[in-house]
Amino acid sequence: MQNPSKTPLLDQIASPEDLRRLPEADLRQVAAELRSETIDAVSVTGGHLGAGLGVVELTVAIHHVFDTPRDRLIWDVGHQAYPHKILTGRRDRIRTLRQGGGLSGFTKRTESEYDPFGAAHSSTSISAGLGMAVARDLDGRHNNVIAVIGDGAMSAGMAFEAMNNAGAMHSRLIVILNDNDMSIAPPVGAMSVYLARLSATRTYLKLRDIGKQLTRQLPERVDRAITRAVEHARGYVTGGTLFEELGFYYVGPIDGHNFDQLMPVLKNVRDTDVGGPVLIHVVTQKGKGYAPAEASDDKYHGVNTFDVVTGAQSKAKANAPSYTKVFADSLIKEARKDDRIVAITAAMPTGTGLDFFGQEFPTRTFDVGIAEQHAVTFAAGLATEGYKPFCAIYSTFLQRAYDQLVHDVSIQRLPVRFAIDRAGLVGADGATHAGSFDVAYLGCLPEMTIMAAADEAELVHMVATAAAYNDGPIAFRYPRGEGVGVDMPEFGVPLKIGKGRVMREGTRVALLSLGTRLGEALKAAEMLAAHGLSTSVADARFAKPLDRDLVRRLAANHEVLITIEEGSVGGFGSFVMQALAEDGAFDGTGTTALKFRSMVLPDVYLDHDKPDRLYAQAGLDARAIVAKVLGVLGRSEDAATSLMA
């Protein structure tokens, strides 16, 4: 006899259309089964768990009430969309999440028609939703647009820019504020305090009901005057007028796990045109329904594979400390020596390692929330007063603050230190989080100094270099994950600005690496030696200022010079090529001509996979380097054999 299914209702749902055919009385069971399926799937794949568990009931309610995908549903960030994916025809692939060739860990337009907007960075949903709503109005259509945004994401200025615009345009847009009292880390700032006050009071709900009863029989003019007074009083009772002054009709707060509250509110909003945008304030619990997540400080925001029964996460045995931990430990040591050092993070204290720094220096650690633009200019202000701010921001998150980098830091030549984590390819998070562009977008700025650590020991020295440097902005980049296992210095020693190092001397081929591809370059040199090619390997250390003496020496003394970097075109290789062109290094002919090539990330967005596979796919591993050299020398058959080996 077959065992009965643990998810009998979920088994009947291949799309939201199937869900909408179920009676409302079944929705609690659907939610319970969906929560169980989400937990089980993420236990196999790892990924984001707590955020998805917190919106299970909300996900079910939205898809039951609204006509998705005709009604557009946008999930801000998208890391809470695993339950959404299960309900929208992707359950059969849910255990491929974040695996090579599998489902994305975020919403993705090319993956499903139920993902109308791709997102992996926060605070974009209201802007995108407003664009869709205006397009609908221009087309004369009548579908709904729903943006679900977390309270953490509401700390970003972009969310308020969008709300300000939406309120002024009076387009019909539904914003659901998912208030779970945290983003990735516990919430910071006045907005979290404000939302807590909103969700803690129910006085206004009673006040509004009483007001309606009192004014129902009065003349319309008097009714309107009293209603305005009641609504104004609401601002003093709950503060709801913040959203209403921005032009939104505010509803809430309501319990995001209670279908008796969710369903009538969503239906009323769906069926009632209030003449402009609506904000529904929904209070949820991150990690809801899974005890280990509820008990965890980060509510199991991001997890490895784990045991469903105990919640114990599996962790690979570390061979070396992570680059993030090395950065944090190094900064702590520097801060013990210099009380002018301060650290800034934009809602990522754990991800950047600044939680460790904050434990020792709580008054010198600043989490500004999801507000990278503010973080950079805040750091600039600190720098004007003689402090030494270390602004620790992921490579792709720093992109959000580019104007501040240019206008507030670079032009004023302020010594802000940028610790750029997640440089290069990041694996399971995919293209949205791959640090591909920072060398290119920083390198074009005057007065910017850029370092890239080849290993964890180099990172220690680069932290010390940044701490000692006061002549302008300085950045150092390093990847996600573990170091390579080199011997670690007890203390960092400042490097000479703009000077690289030669790791291996050769005579015919020169490999000039920036960053952690150095290990692959050294492997390639050994492989090239087997082909009879004597190879030099150098670590540039600095993308800017460029070690021109080193570049000239390598160009003059070798037939082939190849640069290797974990970044896009327009970065380190372009800087080297520009310098060589100015020197006339390419002016020779025949056998005297330098054969130069630059190995960079391909001009495509690479999907999620394991980092080593991604670098092989990108053509930046040792075999690809060997093949490149052999191809340059006209040994195409050998090059093809090397790639296939």
**DSSP string computed for 89-115:** IIGGGGGGTTSTTS--SSB-TTT-TT-
* Active-site residue flag, 325: no
Task: Report the pLDDT value the prediction gives residue 316, as an integer from 0 to 100.
Answer: 67
pLDDT beyond 90 at 13 = yes
pLDDT exceeds cutoff 70 at 262: yes
Smallest CA-to-CA distance from 119 within 74, 162, 160, 158 is with 74
**Res. 214 pLDDT band, cuts 50 70 90:** very low
Give the pLDDT confidence of 157-180 residue by residue, as tens digits.
Answer: 888 899 999 988 888 999 999 988
* Residue 598 · residue 570 · CB < 8 Å: no
Residue-wise pLDDT tens digits, 284-332:
998 888 888 888 766 677 778 888 888 788 876 677 899 999 999 999 9
User: Per the residue annotation, which of 400, 477, 480, 628 is the catalytic one?
Assistant: 400
pTM (2 decimals)?
0.85
204: pLDDT strictly greater than 60: no
Average pLDDT over residues 245-273: 90
Say if residue 630's pLDDT is above 70.
yes
Active site residue 456: no
Two tokens, residue 186: 């516990």
Q: pLDDT per residue over 79-125, tens digit each?
A: 889 999 999 999 999 999 888 888 888 888 999 999 999 988 888 89
pLDDT at 559 over 80: yes
Q: Catalytic one among 33, 37, 334, 372? A: 372
Is 109 annotated as catalytic?
no
Tokens of 376: 């950079």
Q: Which of these is catalytic: 35, 136, 234, 286?
A: 286
Three-class SS state of 508 = coil
* Mean pLDDT value across the chain: 88
Q: What is d(CA 312, CA 126) in angstroms, rounded to the nearest whole number?
A: 37
pLDDT band at 591 (very low <50, low <70, confident <90, very high): low
Q: Among candidates 623, 475, 605, which has minimal Cα distance to 541?
A: 475
